[in-house]
Chain A
Amino acid sequence: MTGQRPEPFVNADSEVYWAATKESRLVLQECADCGHLDLMPRHVCPKCWSANRTWTDAVGTGTVHSFSIVHRAPLPVFREDCPYVVALIDLAEGPRIMTNIVGDGALEVVIGDRVEVCFEDRGEAKVPQFRLARAGGGS
């Protein structure tokens, strides 16, 4: 069922990020000069343009900033999953991630719900997903 879903695209910016998810770790890029934390990997810090980039593990928890329940999938491969939840999560460290909320009670999610990361196999790789913290292990 997951075979045709988009797999992570690994490039020079993102290879550390996707190597970590493969080990079921969510990592953030940190500016070694100004300390800014960022989800989307890039060559320079978007705040100070320092090229001194380091990586740090996220604790993997966050809160739901907003979400939508999708009934019309953008690609045929997602059609059988409808309805499913697309959400923006504010991670405990600050950066915001787009993801799905999966597992028990996902369709009952509300803004402010606490969530925790889990990982979904996509081919050889894994993408970070989130489930409701109150629901226990649901995915």
Chain B
Amino acid sequence: MTDTTLRNRVAIVGVGESEIGKVPHMTGLGLNAQAAKRALDETGLKPSDIDGLLTAYSMTEPYFMLGSVMCEYLGLKPTFNASMVVGGASPAVMLKHAAEAIVSGQAEVILCCAGENRATGQTRDQAVAALAAVGHPYYEQPYGASIPSFYAMITRRHMHEYGTTREQLAQMAVTTRDHAVRHPNAHMTKPITVEEVVNSKPIAEPLNILDCCLISDAGGAYIVTTAERAKDLKSDPVYLHGIGEYHTHEHLMCADSLTEFGALEAGRRAYTMAGLGPEDMNFAELYDCFSVVPMIEMEELGLCERGGAGAMVEAGDTRIDGRLPVNTHGGMLSHAHAGAAGGLFGIIEAVRQLRGQEGERQVANHDVALVHNEGGILSSHCTMILGREER
């Protein structure tokens, strides 16, 4: 199916991120509000211009109707409001739903936001226990299976089938950290080495703690409107060229494969809508809850050959000055991870890179970017292609 109905119909016109790291003086809702205010301030729009809201979910502030709660907190009375619950894929799926709502006339200016106070709003044990609930309650949790253990099994299978090395996985984390070092709002900014990653504390072999995403307090937001209205706002618009999603399972025991996932089909649909291919992407912001994940996504999305991600990372191709910069803000491994907001920062980073705002971490070519979010255990996927020109 060739679906071009959303191509260049909407634009992201404002992005904002909250204070990030340990932010004990703010609630999860407050972090969302701060990010939303910063996103709105870029556009010149007023709060009353917002007529749609999309958010996700919160583990630290688990309101029953989070979308409505967010509207209430922000004083919004929208004609379109929903909460996405597809795990880490939620921020990207929000853009697809926002675009569909705008194109069908349900709303004209939609605020998409997510985030929570996951570092200070709960104890470390509560965080780990809450995350264990992602495992199947009846057939996975009784075995003491943690989220890192799920991704560790995926990692080990990738090493087994393709010869991916422990050092290549570590290099993914090291390159990502190098990018965060250049981000003024990143959670972790101390450079690390391959040796440090390989020798860091084991969490679930073969994954060590420096292969794992952070637990941050953070909120992120972006504002979407029509391509026409975007031209009248004070910010530089970033256009949606293509977007696609694909959902294959939720629990790892029900996944067909540990090396092939739904990113391939989500990406194919996004490329088709955009009329572009992997070779057209200038840079990529990929979901990276664990070091192996962006590598699998690079392979699934055609940014390298199957099994070739390890060599690509090792060669330095994914550095900011490389052939295809990846996770230029530092990803969830080093910039921030706070529940559903993790992948949202990849969207924010893509917008800022496309605008050419990034100073010392600005990529050289910034016409077209790919962003991929995944949720669950590589279960739900959404790929978007963004660009600074209508095309």
Contact = CB atoms under 8 A, between A and B. Distances in A.
Given A9-B138, A98-B252, A72 B143 contact: no
Interface stretch (B46-54, B153-161, B330-338, B348-356): B153-161
Nearest to A122: B142
A53 interface: no
B153 A68 contact: yes
Given A97-B253, A98-B140, A72 B153 contact: no
B118 to A, nearest CB: 16
A135 B132 CA distance: 31
Contacts of B253: 39-40, 88, 96-98
Contacts, number: 112
Interface residues of B, number: 39
Contacts of B125: 76
A35 interface: no
Interface in A59-88: 65-78, 81, 83-84, 86-88
Interface string B133-166: 0011111111111111110111011001000000
B153 A71 contact: no
B142 A6 contact: yes
Contacts of A81: 144
A75 B149 contact: no
B129 interface: yes
A96 B140 CA distance: 12
B192 interface: no
Nearest to A7: B142
B128 interface: yes
Contacts of A6: 141-142
B153 A67 contact: yes
B205 A98 contact: no
Given A6-B142, A81-B144, A72 B132 contact: no
A99 interface: yes
A98 B143 contact: yes
B154 to A, nearest CB: 7
A127 B139 CA distance: 9
Most buried by B among A8, A39, A87, A98: A98
Interface string B105-138: 0000000000000000000010011011001111
A24 interface: no
A69 B131 CA distance: 18
Contacts of A29: none
Q: Which 10 A-B pairs have the closest CB atoms?
A: A74-B132, A68-B152, A78-B144, A74-B146, A66-B153, A69-B205, A68-B149, A6-B142, A66-B157, A98-B253
